Amino acid sequence: MARVDSLIFFLTGFAQLIIASEIETALVAAILQGTGSGTLALGVYFLIFVARNHKEFSGRYSKSEKTVLIRDEQTGDLKRVDATPTASKALMYGGPITLTFLAALFWLAN
């Protein structure tokens, strides 16, 4: 799991909670509140899991599609080089963070 994946759990959890606060049927609202809270808990778990085990995944796993495996000419070791522009990386994290923050504010305002 990557950090952006945990933000998707946050977005879906807040969406379920927002829908549950607007729905009239008590049973459906209770179900959506339960599943929304559970989804938020999953988001927190995955965020903590990735933060705790970041060193294990950073060398072996690359989420970027533009990662290239290049051999170092001097040592002969293989290295991953990410050719993704910085602006693209900023949007990859900034977009979901902004949407999650706005969803949390909207849910708290209800």
SS3 content of the chain, % helix, strand, coil (to 5): 70, 10, 20
Contact 106, 13 (CB under 8 A): no
Q: What pLDDT shows up at residue 39?
A: 94
User: In the chain, what are the domain boundaries?
Assistant: 3-109
User: What are the residues whose beta carbons fall under 8 Å from the beta carbon of 42, sequence distance 6 or more?
Assistant: 9, 13
* Global pTM exceeds 0.85: no
- Consecutive sets of 10 residues in the chain, 110 residues long: mean pLDDT of each? 73 92 91 94 86 65 68 83 77 85 90
What confidence score (pLDDT) does residue 63 get? 59
Kindly state the tokens that stand for 10: 């946050």
